[in-house]
Structure 1
């Protein structure tokens, strides 16, 4: 038997029942969307298993889509089988192929921009759109799996084999990156690609969702520290001389990272000057756009409010006049254009909503 035939027979043997294929595609797509969004909050290497699971599950989707297309290809190629729902099927397929292609391309080191977005941002967009499309597609031919579909041992072996196939594809791509020395070999575990140099020009200007304020005049701007403090403060830009510095890695969710030397004021020094109360638990950093993020107070004390990067005054695009530097956090948590520091006794769960709506007027 030829190797191609053996491989074809093996792939065929791993095919789940038709109903399970449809529901498995939905499960993988939902997992990919959830794991992808959760991965945005992970910046330290301890979180690598989630990124590996995301990539392996995504590559496993290739097999499931192949099984699906093998079963329904006649409906797509023969116009007599076209129905109003066929258009939805085609759009769903295109979104799935787009998500896979952009994800694989990004891992391989393809670094292109489509207008404002990086290839990784486009991948995220395809993934988010794919969830409602798959749900809508599934409802057009809604069929629950039957008991016969769940032959326990056989089904377990099939899905173990599919995941093993996804893992082999993942390792094969990693191996090819190393052999061909593609730009993908320089990625962090998060998938982000490096940006080198010092200062404002060393890394891209990006904004989270719609945040894009007008340039801020430092002479007319001030920083307020308020909330659970005994002495609320209002400080001008000149009063925030860069007395402290740190080297920190900024890992942006748009797909790049950079290590820079930041200069500014330690948040702990500001909390001491304002006399934060003993039961204060969180510190919230608020942008001129209304965007905000909170850190536990002990973590916040070690953070920096930067006025400079690489000995240069922070440019407007990078968050000047003042930006939060939070080592160990992803870039969207490094609040730009900070104008207020709120010391709080409780957390701020609504900040997740604000990340989606801030900047929209």
Structure 2
């Protein structure tokens, strides 16, 4: 099946008041759309990106993008999120990590503070998942969309999708939550994410977040991303990297400086990504997700929920989705679980999502 064309649009959303009470001026958010919005604007699905993702949910690899969109297997003509039927909207969040990739448009710590003319850095207001959702709501208002068919997303995107169901229940009849933490961030997951931030803060180049006119903390960010990548992969996948030395003639038994293949592979992937991500935005994104908990507001939801965990996920293990389904049912809501029986870990919510296509189609049609 063909990919859809990927074009980024930018929405100027003016002034936004954060949950913290702080105001952001000149909020600009990049977004992409796939398919055609029908006459009564009733066929829209909002797709929310994962922790380090961006608005490019679909589209083929091209001169600008080395890889296809992260849910390209799911979005397009004849696919589960069928662009012949649905109008798909995917937007960047506030503080999107990809602020330095030359493509993604976001308002975050790397953006200019209009009061100083310099980058916000750590003066940027704290943001929450509620803020992400409220900015997305404003974007949908600009598009004239008052009700959605569904909100869907993997990992951090599932967090946004579930938040939507309690923030704007009148707009959201369905939620598709893939590789999700459930209805709140478990203390184990929160502690794990906190550890991801430590290499950035320990990097002298971070300089308390004031690095935009100097060298950014790429070493710390690369180490942080290596931790994220390792957690996101299964034993089986990392085992396929191999156990031998990374370089011929440099066996780890001979020196502490000699790496195993798995170490070097994870290190290389992380260093490449660190070139295009923003370290401060990483810290803000972690903090936003650590604050996530919809349980006190669950009574507001009117949605039906489909949870799709990965059987080998070590970031958000499948029992978290199962617990969420039980809690939703106990609250009188319709919820179901469809397991991705795959071996790749957390990232299979992206790489193997086509295996869930039939269940997603059925859920949208029901």
Q: TM-score, normalised by structure 2?
A: 0.20
Pick the structure with greater CA Rg. Answer: 1
